[in-house]
Each structure stands twice: as C-alpha cells, then as structure tokens.
Structure 1
C-alpha cells in the first residue's frame, strides 16, 4: 500500500526470536502497521529511514551484534530520535532502572501472556507521546523553541503562585530595524539572529530561575528574579550576533519593569516593560530603558488620548494647518502647493502637537481614522479654494504604513476626492521612505493603483529609509522630498551639500521633482536653487498656517499673477 494512503500508525518491532516477533505482530496488526528488525544494527537502520513516521519502538534487550541498551543510548543522543517512545520487552526486571535512565517509556515482560495488557500499554504510550507533541507544538514557537506568548504568560503566572516571595523583573527585548536584516541580508540571516538570541535568553532564564518567551516577530520576553546586572545581560545576549551577518551591527534594545507589582496582570507588567523598550526605539546610542514614573504619566496620558480620539474627530477638534511650498526655479518664487499638518485642540489639554499623538495612533492602529478625517477635510478645503480664488493649489496629505494595509485603500481615497468634487491630482499622497523598505512588494502594488487613479505620490523623508538605489529605481513615485536633516547643515562644498547634490542627481535620473523641507535661511535657499531643487518649504517662506492665514498667501499669489499678466499686456 502507498505510504501516503496508509492511515495506520507505524511500529518498529525489534526482536531476534521469530516466535516472539510473530506474537507481537499478531497483537498489533489490526490497529498498527508493523516493520521488523532482527537485531540492533538493523533496528538503527530502520529507525533512521522511518524516523518521521514511527509512532513507537518495541525493543528487545538481549540481541546479537548490538543489544537494546546500545539502541536506547543511540536514540537518546539524537535530538529527533529521542522523541520516539520506546517500550522495552524483557524478562530481566533488574534492567528497568537503567532502561528508564536511557529514555524508555514503559516495559512489557516476557513471556507475552496477556495480549490485551500489551495492546493497552502500546496504545497509552502512543497517545501520551502524540498528546505531548501537540502540546509542545502549541506552547513552543516553531522557529526558536521559546514559549509562545500565551504560554509564557501562563507559566509566569504559575511561577508567581509557587514562588510568591521572589521579587521579579519583566523584560522585553527587541531589535532596532529588524526588517532591514531580512531586506538586506535575507530572511535566513534574520532567522539565524532570532535563533541565536533565543538560545541566549533560554540559557539565561534557566541559569537564573526565570522564564523566556517570544512575543512575536523580533520581540522576546524574559521574566527573571530581581537583581540582575542588565548591562552585562544585554552584552551577553548580543554577543556573537555580528558574526552571523558578516560583521554588520545588530542593535538590541531592552525595556525593564523592575520589581513588578504582582497585583497587576502578567500581561500588564510586560506592557510596562514594552513601553520602556519602545521609548528608545530607533536610538543607536541608548540600548536600555527602565520603566519609571515619567513613563507612567506618559502611559496615562496616552490612554486618555486614545479614549478621546473618536470624540475629537466627531467634534472637529483636529485642526488642519497648511505649510506652503514654493517653486523656486522660475523668474519669481511662486506658491506651488502645501502640506497638510494636523494639530489637536483638545478641550482640556489645550493645543497638542502631532508628535504627541501621531506615533501613539500609529502604534495602536488608530491613525487610519485620523488620516481619513484629514483627507476629507483637506479635499473639502481645496474645493472651496478653487471656487473662491479660481486657483488650483494641490495639498499633500500623509498616507501611513497602517493605511497601506487597509482594504480597498485606492477606492477609499478616490471616493473622498469625488465626494468633494476635486480631481485626484489635487491631493498629493506622502508616503515615508521607511514604509517602502518595510513591505516593498505590498506598498508598490498599492501605490501603482493610486497613481493609476491619478494621484501624485511623494516619497517623504527621502534619504532616511535606507533604500537601495536599485530599489529606488523601481518605486512608483512622482516627487522626492528631502528630509530636513540633510538641509539644515548645508554649506558651499561641504559633505552635507554634496549629499544633497547626489540626491538631486538621483531625482533627475528618475525624472521626478524634488521638494526640500526645513529651509530656514537665505543661504540654504540659494544653495538649493543653484543645485536645481524644484520646490522648498520651511520657515524661510512661512510657518504652517491656519486656513485664514494661508488664504492671505493665496490672495498674494493671485495678485502677483495678475500683475504679471497686466505687465505683459502693457508691453504688447
């Protein structure tokens, strides 16, 4: 019968006596498939050949060439084979202790006078092994062997019940920009890093009476008795990681909630450690943070902002400000477009800057609701300006990495502009470079769909997302936006200016416009204009404006256009 069609579990009978073999075969043949070995050497060969299909080994001890003890030792020393249950068949009762020490699951005594008992012992051993295997598959992460999130929480809870006098620390460990390892070195390299870290924290937890688990992706959790020296612990975990990646640096970050409050749930304790860990996300100089009162206050504020968000949108507490962008390559600087920036006029907390709530909403998946609100408000305002001033001013709005994963995003944004009677070309969509590097295939497909609808795509923060030049050439974009960190220190001939010129060359080769943000001085303006930058924004021209102030800039632009037309007519 074809092995794939056989539904019977397979048992290896290792027995040199023909009569005994026949008795055992008769006992198991109805429910199991038997394969037979006549000595230890043949048994090893069959075990190797069928290791992934064997449910049990019935093993005689006294055999020629290689006895049962040697077979037990061989299987015990192999990580895979030791998982196969073994029932020893012997008349030598003095051997039981030694066999158990070598991994035997049970004994059947010779002669085989009770077939029903033998069958029951075989059934129980197989059921026990398969039950343990199912539990192991559920409780252990398949890549690292660490406890999965849910089992880690349960084990930590039971540890507290049995050792409730111990002070404990909750630790969350993460890898800065782990996606870049997968992107630049391949997924196999990323897996090797995760396995190496897992092996280290398993050892540390075992040596110190703690528990180790994997929270998901590149997050690890450790529950340890208080008093550890965490700088040394972090060095221990990170030791040797660079060797896996051809000396590329791996930046770990650790958040610690010391001497946990055991009145809190285990999940809540590790949330605090995670808060500490996230507080240093993206930092390459600070690798460890301890949860403290300041973080507690921020956590409390964040919880309030999350709860107040829906009412904030409903009551239009989120106000749109417009940062003007000026085209600088013509005879005069002209108002070209604007970037929409959101502020929160909270009824009790006052005016909140976007860095207070945007990262919070991104982390909690709420940013899509706010972005949709901004898309709608801006589209409505663009339509009003077109009617009021007979002037088309495109406005850039943010599309976050959370938005990219939203179902039917193209249709959603297209419906917003249709409902406000403007064309897609009036709403430019800003997507950060780092979003492209995190999920390049998905985002490219989404962005292509948006461009097909008529939207212009701006790559925001260009130069900070570690895109390869090869990747840049394949991205569907219309505008590159230089991050302000490249602009703020430019001087004639310095390295920052050379970097800007290099990025200008990249843009020209891609035939896309360049917007420079954060321009504050005449010197920066002159250097960027000379380098061929198309558009600039920043305090050199204007701070972000409320709607009324921005309308004054539109009126000024209309007046200058009118003067140009009149001058041209007068010259005719």
Structure 2
C-alpha cells in the first residue's frame, strides 16, 4: 500500500424508473459513489446541496413535474453548474442533437447494453472535465455554506417559475458597523458571527419553504412565502450572538419588501429590500424597516438625482458655501480658515442640502466627480481672494472614502491647485474618522503622499469612529475636528466637557490643532477657549454663506488687521 486513500467521485443518477435506476447504479458502483433523484426539481436540489462533490450527472429526459430538458437548460444558464458534465440516458433517440445543444457531453440510448462500454464513456467524461482544469463549483459561499449572491438570484427566479405561491417576501439582513467586530474582537470572532447568522437564516428558509443566501460581506438574503413575523425572525437570528462575542451586543437590521412585485426582476426586488435595510443604517433603536410608498418615492428621487448629476456639474448648479473658522486663543478672535459646503440649486427641485445627495453619490460611486468639481471651484475662489484682498484663507474640502481608492489621487489634487495658481497649503483635506477605521492602511499611504505634496490633513468627526489610540498615532494628521455631538451638550464639569478635555489632551500629545464644530452659544465658546481649543466654527460666528457674504468677513478681518498694525505703529 502506498499510504494514500483513493478518492471516490460522486455521480448523480436522475431516473424515475426503479429498474433503470438500479441498472445504472450496478454499472458504476465499483468505482463511484452514487446519489439519486427521481424528477427535475429534486435534481436541482441535489445539485445545490452537493455541487462541489458531484463529478457527473446521468440524466433521464422523461420525468414528472420537470423534465430533463429543463434541467439541462437550468444548468446551462448557471456559470457553475454548466461545468458539471451530463450524460443523457433516454429512449428518445431523436433528442440527441437537442441535448448536445443544451450542454450534454454524451448520449446513451435505452435499453442499456454493454455495461463496460458505458462505464468507459463515464470515466472518459469525468477525465475530460478534470483534465480541462474545471474547478470545484462555487455556488455556495465558502464560509457560511449559503448560496452565493448570483446563484441565490438564479435559484429564486427558478423557484418563481416552478412553484407558484400567493406571495413572497424579499428580506435583507445586515449588521450595523460589522467591521468593528473584526477590529475589536478579531476576524475569527467576526467569522463565527457570520456562520451563526447563516445557520439561523438557513433554518428559517427550511422551515418557511424559502431560499437563503449570502449577499456579500455581512449581508444575508432570504426569499420566503409572505406572512412570517419579522420580529420573530430577528429574535431567532440574533439568539446566541452575544455569547460568541463575550456578551457584546450585535445590532442586526432587517429590510423587507413584502409581497413582492413578480413583474420586476429578483435582483430589483432585493434592491428594494436593501433600500429599506439601509434606511435604518446606524440607528440602534430600530431593527426593521419595510419598503413602502415613501421609500418608493425616495428611490425615484434618488434615481433622478443620479441621472441629473452630470448636467448639474456641467451647468454649475452645485454652489459652494463657506463656513468660517475662527482662531480663539489670541487677543482677539481672528478669521483662520473656512470649510467648503456644497449645495445643489436644482432647476426644478430647488435648493438641495448635501444630506439629500452626498450619501447617494457615495453609494453610487459618483462622489469623486462632485468632489473634483468642488476642489476646482474652491481653488479658483481661494486664488481670487488672494489677489483681491491680499490675504490667505485656507479652505477645507472633503475627500471621501471613494476618492481614496482613485489611482494617483495626490497627483490629481495637486494638479487642481496648480492650475488655479495656489499652493497646496491653501486646500485642507478633510477625511472622516469612520473612513480611517474601514481601510486604514490604504488611507495612511495616500495621506502620506498628499502631505508630502504640501496639503494639510484634517480628521473630521473625531470621536465618533471608534478609532484606537494606536491607530491615531500612526495617521498623518495636522488638524482634529471635534464632532458637534460632543460640543452641543457641554457644560462646566459635566461628562461631555470632560470628554472634550480628554480629546484636547490627545491632540496636544499629537501636536495637532483642534477645531470644534457646531459652536452656537457663548457658554460653549467660553468653555472651549478656557480648555485650550484652537479654532471653532458654528452659528456662534456665522452660518455657511455664499462667497459674496464670506467676502464681508474677509474685509472685516482686513480692517481689524490694519487697525492692529496702525495701533502698533502708533505705540512704537
């Protein structure tokens, strides 16, 4: 013995006549393991369950419910199943050409004769398949065992065709801030959570007579007959997750499209369920949302905004507003810089705030075009102010997580400022803290390259993205922006103020400036100034304003500077 185990390949025999089924089993049993199906529907079930094990299918054509032709068509349409060789076994001699067109590799006529010849043809079909290097089928997700996204969609469509039901629900499950589980508890813990959720989703699908799949990352899909209790499903899926994470809470969210429209594609049905699921993203008080008319109208509006964006940029409908930032640690509060905020003056929909289109463009990958437009518009404006007022006011612009993945980003932004005859130091680049936590290595590399070009880097929304202190120390930074959520509730000695003081200490340790946003009251101003905050922005000084209004603030700053100079000369 050579010490190696011989692998026995598996053959699926599809035959509704018991005698023929037994004859085929006797022909191959010495060399192959066998599994059986008696009709087309059961065949698809077997292919789904054993797809990575089946080496060949012996297929009868004439079967109840779903015949062999339909099985061949289904397999041919699937990019994985079509790789499994099929030998058709039938008395229908005229069907040979049709079967070959549908993907069969061989054709054996009934009644069966010459068993040795049949086994040789089976051996040869399997050898040819393996010799061509066809890989194991991957319609099942390797981690969870659930159907992969593409096969889930195909199988759901197949279900609609062959199983007529009164109504179906499309359901999408997701996990709020799943990346934090991987970061804080390790990828193994994250995988354990996904596997546990998959087991529950699979069990629900089995109980309800539906289909379960994995959409990718932390997204799970369910296609089940209408009428199930969503809260019960959430409870069942969430059961036991805290135990995996040592009593840490896992926040599931579910979007459901009830009683789906059968006239639209399966993919579109789950898009609607996904819209519902995303509508509660980040909301830890609501776990379930159903797709409704309001979401339908928003979906239609979103589609229109996406389609109108190119024209909006071309026709300069996007307007830049500037919110001033004031340095507050000197003898007087001085205009220090500004933040660029974009508004959309839509010709038919009126003035649109950024929260109505920025997240949409981020999700659709269009935000880079808008960001580039803003970089260019701001650079032009800064250049004009330098010439007109002989004053340098740096302006902060957004760099989204989508921008970070753009090749040669540092060259692109550097070219923008060069073309507008300003230095990189006049354009501060804001990146949200949550973006750092998602792909810190790539972002650090890009930001280092940008700093080498002379750009200042701001971390926006500091304190909301669950960054580790270790990560903060490795990120190239010049400015930290305290999120307004920390500022709005500060009072002398309260917990919010203590938290702000702690973050100011971190900034001092890192030797970076701090900007507090959302400052609205004199009390907030005094507390921040006494705590050593460098710069503030908010309604206390000014709302975001168009360029012509911002120029009045520049003129006022110049007047105060000139007065200071004159006073110094008089005192000299």
SS at 1:309 equivalent: helix
Q: Which residue of 2 aligns with 1:120?
A: 121
Pairing of 1:47-446 with structure 2 (within 5 A): 47=5, 55=9, 83=53, 115-124=116-125, 134=135, 137-446=137-446
Matches of 2:342 and 2:119, distance apart in 1: 75
Coordinate RMSD, CA, aligned: 2.8
Deviation at 1:469, TM superposition (A): 1.0
Question: Is the 2:322–2:339 contact (alpha carbons within 8 Å) kept by the matching residues of 1?
Answer: yes
Matches of 2:306 and 2:202, distance apart in 1: 36
CA change 1:85–1:278 in 2 (3 A) is closer
Question: Is the 1:520–1:539 contact (alpha carbons within 8 Å) kept by the matching residues of 2?
Answer: yes
Matches of 1:336 and 1:274, distance apart in 2: 43
Pairing of 1:492-531 with structure 2 (within 5 A): 492-531=492-531
Deviation at 1:123, TM superposition (A): 3.8
Matches of 1:559 and 1:566, distance apart in 2: 10
CA change 1:114–1:198 in 2 (3 A) is closer
SS at 2:397 equivalent: strand
SS at 1:300 equivalent: helix
Question: Is the 1:55–1:126 contact (alpha carbons within 8 Å) kept by the matching residues of 2?
Answer: no
Q: Which residue of 2 aligns with 1:538?
A: 538
Q: Which residue of 2 aligns with 1:456?
A: 456
Q: Which residue of 2 aligns with 1:8?
A: none
Question: Is the 2:175–2:251 contact (alpha carbons within 8 Å) kept by the matching residues of 1?
Answer: yes
Per-residue CA deviations over 1:524-551 (Å, capped at 9, x if unaligned) read: 0000000000000000000001100000
Deviation at 1:195, TM superposition (A): 1.5
Deviation at 1:125, TM superposition (A): 6.2
Matches of 1:403 and 1:544, distance apart in 2: 24
CA change 1:432–1:142 in 2 (3 A) is same
Per-residue CA deviations over 1:162-221 (Å, capped at 9, x if unaligned) read: 122330000011111111112222222222211111121111111211011111111111
Matches of 2:267 and 2:174, distance apart in 1: 17
The range that moved more, 183-192 or 482-491, is 183-192
Matches of 1:450 and 1:439, distance apart in 2: 17
SS at 1:139 equivalent: coil
Q: Which residue of 2 aligns with 1:475?
A: 475
SS at 2:137 equivalent: helix
CA change 1:413–1:536 in 2 (3 A) is same
The range that moved more, 190-199 or 557-566, is 190-199
Matches of 1:85 and 1:444, distance apart in 2: 47
Deviation at 1:129, TM superposition (A): 9.4
Matches of 2:477 and 2:430, distance apart in 1: 10
Matches of 1:129 and 1:569, distance apart in 2: 91
Matches of 1:131 and 1:142, distance apart in 2: 23
Q: Which residue of 2 aligns with 1:110?
A: none
Deviation at 1:72, TM superposition (A): 8.2
Matches of 1:375 and 1:461, distance apart in 2: 20
SS at 2:357 equivalent: helix
CA change 1:346–1:402 in 2 (3 A) is same
Given the two structures, how large is their TM-score scaled by the length of structure 1? 0.81
SS at 1:152 equivalent: helix
CA change 1:266–1:542 in 2 (3 A) is same
Matches of 2:560 and 2:505, distance apart in 1: 32
CA change 1:56–1:483 in 2 (3 A) is closer
CA change 1:249–1:373 in 2 (3 A) is same
SS at 1:504 equivalent: helix
SS at 1:298 equivalent: helix
Per-residue CA deviations over 1:432-485 (Å, capped at 9, x if unaligned) read: 000000001000000011001000000000000000111111111100000000
Question: Is the 2:169–2:257 contact (alpha carbons within 8 Å) kept by the matching residues of 1?
Answer: yes
Deviation at 1:248, TM superposition (A): 1.6
Matches of 1:376 and 1:272, distance apart in 2: 36
Given the two structures, how large is their TM-score scaled by the length of structure 2? 0.81
Per-residue CA deviations over 1:241-264 (Å, capped at 9, x if unaligned) read: 122222221111100000001011
In structure 1, the gaps of 5 or more residues are 1-34, 37-44, 58-67, 74-78, 87-105, 107-112
Larger radius of gyration: 1
Matches of 1:236 and 1:131, distance apart in 2: 44
Matches of 1:256 and 1:491, distance apart in 2: 43
Residue correspondences, number: 487
Per-residue CA deviations over 1:25-58 (Å, capped at 9, x if unaligned) read: xxxxxxxxxx78xxxxxxxx743xx65xx6579x
Per-residue CA deviations over 1:278-332 (Å, capped at 9, x if unaligned) read: 0000111111000011111111111110010000000010000000000000000
The range that moved more, 140-149 or 480-489, is 140-149
CA change 1:116–1:420 in 2 (3 A) is same
Q: Which residue of 2 aligns with 1:559?
A: 559
Deviation at 1:138, TM superposition (A): 3.1
Per-residue CA deviations over 1:335-393 (Å, capped at 9, x if unaligned) read: 00000000000001100011110111111111100000000000000000000000000
Matches of 1:129 and 1:226, distance apart in 2: 43
